[in-house]
Structure 1
Amino acid sequence: MTILVTGGAGYIGSHMVLELLDSGESVVVLDNLSTGFRWAVPPNATLVVGDIGDQELVRSIVRKHGVKSIIHFAGSIIVPESVVDPLGYYHNNTVKSRALMEVAVEMGIENFIFSSTAAVYGMPKEIPVREDAALAPMSPYGSSKLMTEIMLADTARAHNFRYVALRYFNVAGADPKGRSGQSTPQATHLIKVACETALGKRSHMEVFGTDYPTADGTCIRDYIHVTDLVRAHMAALRHLRAGGQSEVFNCGYSKGFSVLQVIEAVKRSSGADFEVRLSPRRAGDPAAIVAASDKIRMHLGWRPEFDSLETITVQALAWEAHLQQFKHAS
């Protein structure tokens, strides 16, 4: 029962592939390598370089490898970029997801796990935010993901097709065994940027917005370790394989940290001080968003193992140091 992982050469996708392989699963990865890396796909997984919007390619992969489940990560994820290029985001995240879903229905794929986002909530009225809260995205990125969720729900009602949509909060950290991590050049993830700055890869870092209605004026986010996140996908896969119904779950720890708190955590973990510049707000950033995570714990039995900001920052720093050595060695 082979599993197709789209975007499996990227940050979260590569961790998913490792978790699946560690669990004895057969895995094929489809990635166009626009932001992913060939080296991030282990040799015991099959890598197909191509686009999820290429329906004939997807059909051939499903036929050749006997794919029974799809875990869909491929897409664009940068909120400010989506504000500048909304049509690009709707094409990459929504139109191509529709194409993938059409093939899944046609080929009899019953289990589909979708990489969604907390950005579908926009600026929630209540914190922590629950899955049944009003959906009001503040960016084309969030809207593009919400549109895909709507398509999934409609498709599940019309066909023999079941899905789980996982709404990620802020993903960070690296594989505890040091096999993968956030490797994207010019990444915008806060912990990644802070780690790069702590190790001297950047001369300084910026904090966007210090006038939010929060304790220290900076945005508050719920950070989830990437390994805990992919294990939520494993729990979702078990749920669907057992005949479970389509569901939507938040993936977070129900704990929020401000931007300045995260930077201080990276400084403590690295033992390095570095320059932090204060800049105006970015479009599309809500002031605070923290997950209510009781639903996924109750329904899927998910229990995080790495739910500590210190653990996340220490492992992110270790991966960043590894990348630095890898670059020098090559």
Structure 2
Amino acid sequence: MTEQTSHYPIGTPGEAWGAVEKAQWLQAQRVKRSYQAEVLAKLTKLGESCELIKYGALPHKIEPSYAEHKKADAYPLFVIKSRVWQSDKPVVLITGGVHGYETSGVQGALRFAQTEIEKYQQDFNILIAPCVSPWGYETINRWNPDAVDPNRSFTADSPSPEAAQLMAYIESLAVDIYAHFDLHETTDTDNSEFRPARAARDGITQDNWNIPDGFYLVGDTEKPVPAFQKAIIEAVEKVTHIAPPDENGMIIGAPLEQKGVINYAKTKLGLCGGFSKAPFVTTTEVYPDSPQVDDENCVQAQVAAVTGGLDYLLAKESNAE
């Protein structure tokens, strides 16, 4: 951990935000990029190897002068589904953009659909939710418009419609998820903006953590599957560098379990990786602010994480036969 976070410009130190402070925070947000251009347009160009399913929609709560965003379904939500669906094959779930500001998670999920889904759909039924939080994507935010973190909201009676609608859709399929890849980033703004904002919102004092320079994974404390995580790290290492632990042997305040891997209690914390109940689950964390990477490298790292994990599962099944 490093120095304590400084005072955030909204709210009173030590007092949790109420409706007034949340409204002030929302009013300060601005659209900075286009969900339509950067996500939806790419979905329409996917080939015949997959199909698009609209599983929900979200309203637009910012800059009402954007006439096209006044409708309740300003943000249609889509899942990409492999067209070759076989009831006897395991189901793989890939989620991106649970935190909308984490760009390579969204673009990595889309790139996998563009370049890899056809290769793997003979062995897996694949579902991809490429951008769970489109408002967060457009405004480059961790939270949704209600100052709720979707990735702490994959719970019963979720306060996040982003989380609730995805969970409801997956439940409606009545399938068991075999593997779940949740694609994320850790950025410098975690310390400069989002952790200070959370401390202000909740009326607490919070320390910053050392931002790790490189890629790492977050496994599940209840089912860490270390061999699965190791295979992913080895695949990603061919594309980009792996984050070392800090001087205390930790990454973002959690003890290192193996090279590039820490564990969280995903279900208890309401994380996206916990709701699917998959026996094989991982959360990727790309570091886009490293001087050693660029945007393309970050996207490639996300794709390598998924393909590395799927290749491990294929080899595991082959060895069991």
With the shorter chain as reference, the TM-score category is 0.3 to 0.5
Relative contact order, higher structure (CA 8 A, sep 6+): 2
Normalised to the residue count of structure 2, the TM-score between the two structures is 0.33
- Could you say which structure has the higher helix fraction? 1
Normalised to the residue count of structure 1, the TM-score between the two structures is 0.32
